[in-house]
A and B are shown apart, each in its own frame.
Chain A
């Protein structure tokens, strides 16, 4: 399984995945399956979150107390584990997004077309 070519991409986006999860949870608390669907829809199906990355990432964020989880009964009357963002998660998200914006801007400037 380790020679699965996708596995490398997963790791590259660890920081990005966390941001997307936190941002999604800031909108509204949701459970894992919903998170996958949400991110796919929000990105116009451009991004496909791997479950193989999602659950380990959620566990890491639980451990770091960026999110909190509790079992609930969903609207479709399933027992689901709903995650919500914590105050620390919010702070973390803002910090990460600021530095991400900076980085994007930098990349943008470097990649800008050469002026004649």
Chain B
């Protein structure tokens, strides 16, 4: 290490050395003169013999420096001065990179938060979810869970939970809240500790309804109860049933789903009080998530095998478990083979990496041009003794400075965007969360990307430096040998930019067209002008049968609101919160086990006004009436897909089917197919049942009021809230426009389209500046040649041709490759579930046209400049 004093002494030391070398040279000269040389000859000879004084002094000084650090600082200082000297260039370069790196940071944060980062529990890699095989669902039934727990030996512990929603009354108001109903060992299996109080465990559970205990989530405790310490031991009511708060979970523990953060946890033995239905009854009521810890040394494949031995036994023991297949998978979207999140994020990662690559290509050619413009200066540097490495280091320092600044700006705006995204809730009534706040690994990636791209676009132009012939370069007017005669390196860079640009523009255009088409797909109902309020009367202690009169009163009140054109009741609605699927069996089935079912159908309980209110056209048969109730045989209205699956081309009217032994149905009407869960989904079988008749005579407390009106949204919302407060004061209701629900279902596709469009726009900007840069650079380099051509009589057309042929060729080549790649990428995206239009000539025409426009826009100014050349003046100039 060198001391401070040394740093101050250094100037002195360096001066001493310089003086001493000078004295050495003089002594040498004197000696040579003494041998008989002339003084001039002697001076030249002495200098020749001594070598490069500057270089030797520098080497001598290095003995006193921390050479690498000081060299680095000097290089950075110099680079900074140069960048400040050309602020326009620096700013453009930094912004270009900021967007490229920012896009990568955003996409990687999503990937990291949703896929890569495990759940926030100890030893998360050892937590596995048990699901029903590749083609089955992720959820289990409670009786099956008990069998896994008792018969399987590869887990140290298996726990189960389901989500539920309930009205929580604490003090005066009731809020809609969401929680987990869990097996007693939930927290023990996870191995976590509470922030306050205690968790419940298996010893608290003594049978159905025995443990009315509640553990609050940290966030819920803070927001609803102000973080009060005295909450422990307090009683809160869930759907009118008292629960005792015994603990608060640790901060940062958001349950075991990635997207859904519960407000509290309760023992599942007490869930029936709250929800009004049993989770324990049936082997074919799936809705429970099962997770466990594997025993040390047990591999997931071994666990699969062991579980399937159990499944085979269970299939023999219980007819409903026939054909049961089990596997273990990682919890969350990462483990689910049917979840598109991971694949689409990987796809987006690839695209944003491409954009960054295009940005690097763009900057590389600008840097090459800047280096070429400095040819003379750099040659002088090398001539007076700077090694190529020194010059290269300078260029690299400039590139890395730019890239780090770009990375910092990019990471900054990415962080803003992600912060906003993680706070964002589409529906205030659902505790969804997007855990996408960047962590350390994201910032490491940002720094790595910055350095990587800096080195990439800094190194590429350095090939020029390496091949420089100093003697040639030092002559004035020397153009760096990166000639325009052959297919040059810069051409490759430009081709890359154009290809990436076209690819992204094509993919974005196909995705936008796909969205456009999806918007015009018949929904089977018209959500425009319809308001949906959803709540569950069980939250105020009602049962299905006692709820019906209240529901009817709510409907009557809603119908009488001035401005309401039509209103209806349902248990759920398409695209709304929640829903039900029922297994449909052919008429005459005797053995109601899942292996024998025809299909599962989306099921709605609707009042007779529903078809009119939703504007769902009845194709044939009759609508329901309020006389279709529990006193008369069950009837149903089905959609076309349902009818086709069960009866082929024949009319379904009057035909019959079963749901279970006591639930036999006759079809009275048929409606057109529609969309029920997501836009662009494959046609789903759907059936409707009379609201007053219920499903197999089970009425529902789920209350969904569908109101069509011509009032402004806030007026109808206020009127409906008044009605609901009057009829069901203790039940929290959500209230949204149906249009918003439908739009929300397209959120994923919209996000993909927006990302594609943003990346595409960025790529377009890169392509324009890239082509512009190349064209204008080529024009300015060949001004003299142009002057000669024009002077000897070349036509304007010929000159333009000569100048712009290469950019035009590159544009065409890049566009063709890019469109082909874009079409291919769109196919892949479609397979991942994104809405992409199939083969669409309009897209190709539009993309080609925009590439031509880009070409014209980018070459316009250079071409003008070229044509305005005055050959006489140009030729006179040196």
Contacts and interface: CB of A to CB of B under 8 A. Distances in A.
User: Which bracket fits the contact residues of B?
Assistant: 20 to 34
B63 A2 contact: no
A19 interface: no
A59 B23 contact: no
Interface in A40-85: 50-52, 55-56, 58-60, 62-63, 69, 71, 78-81
A92 interface: no
A55 B61 CA distance: 10
Contact of A55 (B26, B27, B60, B385): B60
Contact of A56 (B27, B52, B60, B388): B60
B24 A59 contact: no
B50 A51 contact: yes
B187 to A, nearest CB: 65
A33 interface: yes
Contacts of B27: 33, 78, 80
B64 interface: yes
Contacts of A26: none
Given A2-B388, A78-B27, 4 more contacts: A51-B50, A55-B56, A59-B60, A81-B20
10 contacts: A1-B52, A32-B24, A51-B21, A51-B50, A51-B51, A52-B50, A55-B17, A55-B57, A55-B59, A59-B17
B432 interface: no
Contacts of B388: 2
Interface of A: 1-2, 31-33, 50-52, 55-56, 58-60, 62-63, 69, 71, 78-81
B20 A50 contact: no
Nearest to B390: A2
B59 A56 contact: yes
B51 A55 contact: no
Interface in B32-52: 49-52
* Interface of B (DSSP majority class): helix
Contacts of B51: 1, 50-52
Interface string B1-24: 000000000000100110111011
B28 interface: yes
B387 interface: yes
A63 B56 contact: no
Given A32-B24, A52-B56, A63 B64 contact: yes
Given A69-B16, A81-B20, A52 B62 contact: no
The 7 A-B pairs with the shortest beta carbon distances in the complex, nearest first, are: A59-B63, A56-B59, A59-B60, A60-B63, A52-B51, A81-B20, A33-B27
B383 to A, nearest CB: 9
Given A1-B52, A55-B17, A56-B56, A78 B62 contact: no
A79 B55 CA distance: 24
Task: Tell which of A31, A33, A63, A80 has the most Cβ of chain B within 10 Å.
Answer: A33
A51 B641 CA distance: 94
Nearest to B55: A1
Nearest to A36: B24
Nearest to B384: A1
A32 B20 contact: yes
B63 A62 contact: yes
Given A56-B63, A59-B63, A81 B56 contact: no
B85 to A, nearest CB: 29
A59 B64 contact: yes
Contacts of B57: 55
A104 B243 CA distance: 91
Contact of B61 (A1, A59, A78): A59
Interface in B386-428: 387-388
A58 B403 CA distance: 40
A56 B385 CA distance: 16
Contacts of A59: 13, 17, 60-61, 63-64
Contacts of B21: 32, 51, 55
B538 to A, nearest CB: 85
A15 to B, nearest CB: 15
A52 B62 CA distance: 13
A18 B483 CA distance: 49
Interface in B241-296: none
A55 B21 CA distance: 8
Contact of A1 (B20, B60, B385): B385
B468 to A, nearest CB: 13
Contact of A52 (B17, B20, B52, B61): B52
A16 B570 CA distance: 97
Contact of A81 (B23, B50, B59, B385): B23
Interface in B53-95: 55-57, 59-64
Nearest to A80: B23
Nearest to A56: B59
Contacts of B55: 1, 52
A81 B63 contact: no
A55 B20 contact: yes
A98 B27 CA distance: 35
Contacts of B20: 31-32, 55, 80-81
Interface in B851-873: none
Interface string B428-466: 000000000000000000000000000000000000000
A34 to B, nearest CB: 9
Task: Tell which of B24, B56, B387 has the most Cβ of chain A within 10 Å.
Answer: B24
Contacts of B49: 51
Contacts of A2: 387-388
B392 to A, nearest CB: 13
B52 A81 contact: no
A91 to B, nearest CB: 20
Contacts of B52: 1, 52
A79 B24 CA distance: 10
Contacts of B50: 51-52
A68 to B, nearest CB: 12
Nearest to A58: B60
Given A52-B56, A55-B17, A79-B23, A33 B63 contact: no
A51 B56 contact: yes
Nearest to B20: A81
A48 to B, nearest CB: 10
Nearest to B26: A78
B28 A33 contact: yes
B64 A56 contact: no
Nearest to A50: B51
Contacts of A1: 51-52, 55, 385, 387
Contacts of A63: 63-64
A55 B635 CA distance: 105
A92 B407 CA distance: 50
Contacts of A81: 16, 19-20, 23
A51 to B, nearest CB: 5
B29 to A, nearest CB: 11
A32 B26 CA distance: 12
A69 B17 CA distance: 11
A37 to B, nearest CB: 9
B24 A33 contact: yes
B17 to A, nearest CB: 6
A77 B59 CA distance: 29
B24 A51 contact: yes
Contacts of B16: 69, 71, 81
A56 B63 CA distance: 7
A56 B62 contact: yes
A60 to B, nearest CB: 4
Contacts of A69: 16
A63 B28 CA distance: 26
Nearest to B64: A63
A31 B24 CA distance: 9
Contacts of B63: 56, 59-60, 62-63
Contacts of A32: 20-21, 24
B287 to A, nearest CB: 75
A94 B251 CA distance: 68
A63 B20 CA distance: 16
A102 to B, nearest CB: 28
A63 B387 CA distance: 25
